[in-house]
Amino acid sequence: MLKIYNTLTKKKEEFKPIEDGKIKFYHCGPTVYWVQHIGNMRAMVLADLINRSLRYLGYDVKLVRNYTDVGHLTSDEDEGEDKLEKGARRENKTPQEIAEKYIKVFEDDIRDLNVLEPEVKPRATEHVKEIIEMVKTLLEKGCAYTTDLAVYFDVSKAKDYTRLSGQVLEKNISEAGKGEVSDKNKKQPADFALWFFKAGKHKNALQFWESPFESPLVENGEGFPGWAIECSAMSKKYLGNTLDLHMGGVEHIPVHHTNEIAQSESANGVKFVNYWLHNEHLNVNGGKMSKSEGTAWSLAEIKEKGYDPLVLRYFFLGSHYRSKQNFTWEALDAAEVSLRKLRERIIEMRKGSEGRKEGVERRQTILNYPLDKKRHSEPRMLRGEESHGARNGCGNAHFAAGSFTPQSGVQDDANLNSPLSRGEIKRKFIEAVEDDFNIPRALAVMWEAFKSDLDDKEKLELVFDFDRVFGLRIEEVKEVKEELPEEVMALVQAREAARSAKDWARADEIRDKILNLGFSVEDTEKEAVVKRVKKEQSRREKKVKKAERAGCSI
């Protein structure tokens, strides 16, 4: 039985769709005026995990995720400049060019993160007709009014306006009206714009449309829509008056989603959404992500540092959607190790077990992706490798500190058998998914499947089945071999000789030389495996090894 935490009721509820077996799901998409940072990417991955979970459980899901390409001002409270126009002025382009540019960047990013395409991805600028019709309805019902500068929704006409957020408007709590307004004819601070006229602060607006709304300051009602009305109009067009699920970030609760409820229910006369889901924020190094401090990283920057985008996706699996998650490079490294171990398991189970080979094969192993596009880094510590740092007892601080928990126990307990049957493992997985989409727990169940006494074929079938939720492309994992340069091969063989002689200092010295040539060497239980790495990774590897030789871990 699927249970979902409903922000509206502040409790977990048994999920009951409007129509048996079908789900109408709306997710607030990006405002496409700039590159989305990894916090935005986390929101997309979390929604994707929920979308995948629902489909895994057998539901027929219709997902709509919008693009806001007009009307989202730099302040959520109807103040400031339109974000698309800000981007246009920044880059000396039209708002339409800005939208096209950053929609493409966004779609490339979420494709790299293996986020499923929604059934519909509407743009606000393509739905001005539907927006105008909804504003007209609100005016006709007496729920909205017109000033010289805008058409506003009158929040006093909404039933229990703040029930989603629990705010007290009179106290101006958490974004619910600031007490100061730029339009002196606005009835109350919390009233929000449905339509801005091309007047006042917006007289030079770059995007505007004619409308039936009247202002003495413009001709033909020229203006542009407000932010919240876009989602109400588009969700109605594609999903109807009442939705099963609506998802966004916690930052949407006090203004955007509160306003969506007010205007949709006032216009349509029925409940707008049955279940509200909100994801928490991604922090960086224990604090808020900040452009000014250079911590609002994009996926492109993550890739530039040599990480596979699916490592970031795996990292996101480690925290529940309603919990904040803390991003650090160390935590991302830990996720990378775990994803690599997962891929290696898949290859091992496909190949069958082999004993450790003598010497070193003249080859390198790349998992899952071609050399010129992706890289998979060497884990800092693997079972079977004895480094200087390990001998001094510092080990891998990221696992020891428990900073990335879903795979905890995998490193040490992977060979312990579990008595659970295939059916019991599958049941535990479904229970985790049905418990408000508890993906971290589901991930732990997957690792438990590896520890079971099932045969490899059954384990693979289970893991491939579970990956329908995780979206890690596990079934695509493959081994690719490539000849090594003579110089690298000679160094690897020399390092093997040093290790055999237990000359650890010499082995570490040779490892650094190999890294300088753009390769890393990994000592597994079965063989030494050499991999091509990027410059950024090579620098990171050397920093790690230097710290290990100093008797600590970073």
SS3 of residue 21 by DSSP = coil
Query: Whose structure tokens read 């496909």?
Result: 350
Among candidate residues 412, 429, 415, 500, the one with its CA nearest the CA of residue 464: 429
486 CB-side CA count, 13 A: 0
Residue 394 annotated as part of some ligand binding site: no
> CB neighbours (10 Å) of residue 140?
10
The DSSP element (H or E) to which 236 belongs, if any, is: helix 227-239
Q: How far is CA 427 from CA 299, 423, 437, in A?
A: 35, 6, 14
The CA-CA-CA angle for residues 436, 407, 534, to 5°, reads: 115
Alpha-carbon span 163 to 113, nearest angstrom = 35
Give the separation between CA 14 and CA 6, rounded to whole angstroms: 10
| DSSP string covering 325-356 | EEE-HHHHHHHHHHHHHHHHHHHHHHH---PP
257 annotated among ligand-binding-site residues? no
Quick one: CA dihedral 282, 286, 291, 295, positive or negative?
Answer: negative
Q: What gap in Å lies between CA 196 and CA 192, rounded to an integer?
A: 10
What length does the chain have? 554
Q: Is 409 in contact with 450 (CB distance < 8 Å)?
A: no
In whole angstroms, how far apart are CA 282 and each of 20, 155, 308, 322? 35, 32, 19, 11
Across the chain, which distance is largest between two alpha carbons, in Å? 90
State the DSSP string of 493-540.
HHHHHHHHTT-HHHHHHHHHHHHHTTEEEEE-SS-EEEEE--HHHHHH
* CA 123 to mean position of chain CA atoms: 21
Burial class (CB in 10 A: 0-12, 13-18, 19+), 542: middle
Torsion angles phi and psi, residue 278, rounded to 5: -135, 130
Report whether 28 belongs to an annotated binding site: yes
Instruction: Count CB atoms within 10 A of the CB of residue 457.
Output: 10
Which residues face 225 on adjacent strands? Answer: 195
Distance of CA 423 to the CA centre of its chain: 31
Contacts of 163 (CB under 8 A, 6+ apart): 8, 261
DSSP reduced 3-state for 552? coil
> Do residues 467 and 475 make contact, with C-beta atoms less than 8 angstroms apart?
yes
Binding-site residue set for ATP: 291
Binding-site residue set for Zn(2+): 28, 231, 256, 260
Binding-site residue set: 28, 231, 256, 260, 291
